[in-house]
Amino acid sequence: VANALEYIHSKNVVYRDLKPQNIGFASIEDGQENKSINVKLMDFGLARELPSSVLPYNNNSKNNMLFNMTGTVGTMRYMSPEICLNKPYGLEADIYSWSIVSYGILTQTRPY
Whether 103 is covered by a domain: the verdict is yes
Whether 81 is covered by a domain: the verdict is yes
93: CATH: 1.10.510.10
Active site annotation includes 17: yes
Cα three-residue angle 84-90-94, rounded to 5 degrees: 70
The backbone region for 12, taken as left when phi is positive above 0, alpha when psi lies in -120 to 50, beta otherwise, is left
* pLDDT by position in tens, the chain (length 112): 999 999 999 999 999 999 999 999 998 887 777 788 889 999 999 999 987 665 554 444 444 445 556 567 788 999 999 888 888 888 999 999 999 999 999 999 999 8
Catalytic residue of the set 17, 30, 43, 94? 17
CA–CA dist 77, 66 (Å, integer) = 22
Whether 87 is covered by a domain: the verdict is yes
Residue 25: domain span:
2-107
Whether 76 is covered by a domain: the verdict is yes
What pTM was computed for the model?
Answer: 0.78
Which ranges of 44-84 does DSSP label H, i.e. alpha helix?
A: 62-65, 81-84
Which ranges of the chain does DSSP label H, i.e. alpha helix?
A: 2-10, 62-65, 81-84, 92-107
At 38, which helix (H) or strand (E)? Answer: strand 35-41
Q: Which of 50, 36, 63 lies closest to 94 in space, CA to CA?
A: 50
Whether 112 is covered by a domain: the verdict is no
In the prediction, which pLDDT does 40 show? Answer: 92
The backbone region for 111, taken as left when phi is positive above 0, alpha when psi lies in -120 to 50, beta otherwise, is alpha
Counted domains in the chain: 1
Whether 40 is covered by a domain: the verdict is yes
Whether 49 is covered by a domain: the verdict is yes
